[in-house]
Structure 1
Amino acid sequence: MELQPGREAIVRVAVATLWSSPEAVRPVDGPALTAGVDIPTWVSGMDADQQVGDCVLSQLLLGERVLVDELRPDGWARVVAVEQPAAKLDPRGYPGWLPADQLTPVDPHVGGDPLVVDATSTELRTAPGGPVALPGVVVGTRLVPAGPARDGWQPVHVPAHATPLWLPDGQLVPAPTEPPSAADALAVAQRLRDVLYIWGGLSAYGIDCSGLVHLAWRRFGVLLPRDADDQAVATTPVPLGAERPGDLYFFARPGRKIHHIGIVTAVAGDLADRRMLHACYRRRRVLEEALPADRIATLVGVHRV
């Protein structure tokens, strides 16, 4: 089978990066562009300015579905990430560009109730305890089991791999059938504390503010929009002062759209009691802190998922 415009495909690499255009990529982006993508090396090679370059739109996880809109002769595919809602950009999902060799056609013969990776990051192996076949798989990735666990290892179907790969059974959980509690999602986000801030990032190696929120709820099968302003539309406002841990703080400058989001971590009393976990652009990492004065000045709402 081959990729075809107008049909769905799935991501075959651990983490694929969605770009604004093929021409926007930089020399530093090489490790993120191949079929053997190496996101940790890509992230570690960037300086502080490159970490916030707007050429990166989002990232997609192994097995994530896309709709292929266009295939270019130079090996790039224009796609829509259908599992990342982005109503203001495209009602079908988040649009952007990927190297086509990071995708594979959907295999209609692979199906079943998925398992979800609960490890912050892990490696898929060729056999129980065997050589690493696919490193860098991150929390929230969904994989279809390829048979029963054996000696503490679970075989899974992996896109573009003819035979199952394996990972420790304890790193997988059944796909949830009920919505998570706010505390559950907050606990996932807290595991990403100190991860580097990467504009458009959506992995345990680099993430942005709305990516942190999207990934924390995605771990439980809740597909929030990808961008902060869309996340505000998709969630329910609650009165300021009534927030509880796991709710969302939204920030905007006067007359401007929402530009930042954080996850409430402490029950609010007065203004000085407000705390949040967020991927901080200015400090280039995920951190938990009391809201500084400039954040309080731009706080425009509290929402609940």
Structure 2
Amino acid sequence: MDVRQGAEAVVGVAIAALWRSPDAVRPVDAPALGSPADVGAWVAGMDADQQVGDGVLSQLLLGERVLVTEVRPDGWAHVVAVEQPSALDPRGYPGWLPTSQLTPAGVDTDATPRVVVDATVTALHAEADGPVALPGVVLGTRLTPAGHPVDGWHPVHAPGHTRPLWLPAAHVVSVPTAAPTPEQVLTVATRLVGVGYLWGGLSAYGIDCSGLVHLVWRRLGVPVPRDASDQASAAHRVPLGSERAGDLYSFARPGSRIHHIGIVTAAAPDPTERRMLHACYRRRRVLEEPLTTERTATLVGAHRI
């Protein structure tokens, strides 16, 4: 059955890039377009400037639901990523991706995934301890169990596969149902320190500032918007000086929208002691650091999810 306009579909590759337009694709982006997509090779093949090109809006993870709004004969589909809230569209984040990276939504589309990948990167196997069937599955990917763990391996349903696939049971946990604690937020976020900066990135292969926030809370079972300005708008503002670890700092230049966001790592009633963990465009990686004087000059608020 083909992917159809007006119907729901799900992402059938480990990571699918959501593009601003098919025309935004560059020759260096070829590894990201296949099925399976080789995101590791894609990121490794780009230089630092290519990694911050604006052609990619976001990334979608295996099993993520989309509404297909257009299917073109050249192999591209316009979709709305319904699991990534956005002010751009009340239904979710809009963009383009290759139709080959989608699979029609099955009858179990409404089944609630009960486990989430906790490893930064793992793989799904054809059988327990068997050959790899789907590499590059990343932190925050939500899956539906296909049974109970067996000998340290967990069976799960995967889009486009009729038989269950398997991954190490230690690489998945139950999707949390309680509100995350600040400690849990920082534990997940700290595991991504050192990941390279990738515009539109949403994985341990590369990530941007709002992608880091979205992914951390996704892993913890809390849906948040994809873009920094939307994340700040959706959270509760708290007075500067009363922020605590696990809150967010947002940044904007005078008269402009919020352009950067980071996770507070320590309560700081003294403005000179503020620290955050963030995906830094200038230093091109995820790091934890004190707010510089220049950064503090653009600090516009603190927010709590």
TM-score interval, normalised by the smaller of the two chains: over 0.9
Q: What is the rounded CA distance, in whole Å, between the counterparts of 2:79 and 2:182 in structure 1?
A: 32
Structure 1: which 5+ residue stretches go unaligned?
Answer: none
Letter in 1 for 2:181: S
Question: 3-state SS of the aligned residue for 2:31?
Answer: helix
Q: How does 1:114-263 map to 2 (within 5 A)?
A: 114-263=114-263
Distance 2:58 2:220 in 1: 19
Q: Residue in 2 aligned with 1:302? A: 302
CA RMSD of aligned residues (A): 1.0
Pairwise mapping of residues 286-301 of structure 1 onto structure 2 (< 5 A)?
286-301=286-301
User: 2:281 matched to which residue of 1?
Assistant: 281
| Residue number in structure 1 paired with 2:47 | 47
- What residue number does 1:94 align with? 93
The runs of at least 4 consecutive aligned structure 1 residues that moved more than 3 Å come to 109-113
Cα distance, 1:114 vs structure 2: 2.0
Deviation per CA, 1:29-77, whole angstroms, max 9, x where unpaired?
0110000101111111111111110001000000000000000001000
**Could you tell me which residue of structure 1 aligns to residue 102 of structure 2?**
103
Paired residue for 1:56?
56
Q: Secondary structure at the match of 1:217?
A: helix
**Partners of 1:132 and 1:286 in 2: how far apart?**
29
Question: 1:81 corresponds to which residue?
Answer: 81
Q: Distance in 2 between matches of 1:40 and 1:11?
A: 18
More divergent stretch after superposition (140-149 vs 180-189):
180-189
Identity %: 67
Deviations 1:207-250 (A, max 9, x none): 00000000000112211110000011100011101111100000
Tell me: CA distance 1:52–1:77, structure 2 relative to 1, closer, same or farther (3 Å): same
Instruction: Give the C-alpha shift of residue 303 in structure 1.
Output: 0.5
- The answer as to whether partners of 2:15 and 2:61 remain within 8 angstroms in 1 is yes
- In the aligned structure 2, how far is the partner of 1:182 from the partner of 1:229? 21
- Cα displacement (A) at 1:181: 1.5
How far apart are the structure 2 equivalents of 1:109 and 1:224? 24
TM-fit CA distance, 1:113? 4.8
Q: How many residues align?
A: 304
Write out per-residue CA displacement over residues 240-294 of structure 1, whole angstroms, 9 at most, x where no aligned residue: 0111110000000011110000100122132221110000000110011010111
Q: 1:109 to 1:260 in 2, by over 3 A?
A: closer
What is the CA–CA distance in structure 2 between the aligned matches of 1:126 and 1:208, rounded to whole Å?
A: 32
Deviations 1:135-155 (A, max 9, x none): 111111111111121111011
Does the CA-based 8 Å contact 2:113-2:142 persist in structure 1? no
Cα distance change of structure 1 residues 152 and 269 upon mapping to structure 2, 3 Å threshold: same
Instruction: Give secondary structure in 2 for the equivalent of 1:30.
Output: helix
Give the SS at the match of 2:216. Answer: helix
5+ residue gaps, structure 2, are none
Amino acid at match of 2:77: A
Contact 2:17 2:56 (8 Å CA) reproduced: yes
Q: SS at 2:97's partner residue? A: strand
Structure 1 range deviating more: 90-99 or 106-115:
106-115
Code of the residue aligned with 1:100 in structure 2: it is T
TM-score w.r.t. length of structure 2: 0.98
SS at match of 2:297: helix
Distance 2:300 2:191 in 1: 27
Q: Secondary structure at the match of 1:283?
A: coil
Cα pair 1:112 1:145 within 8 Å, conserved: no
C-alpha displacement at 1:130, in angstroms? 1.1
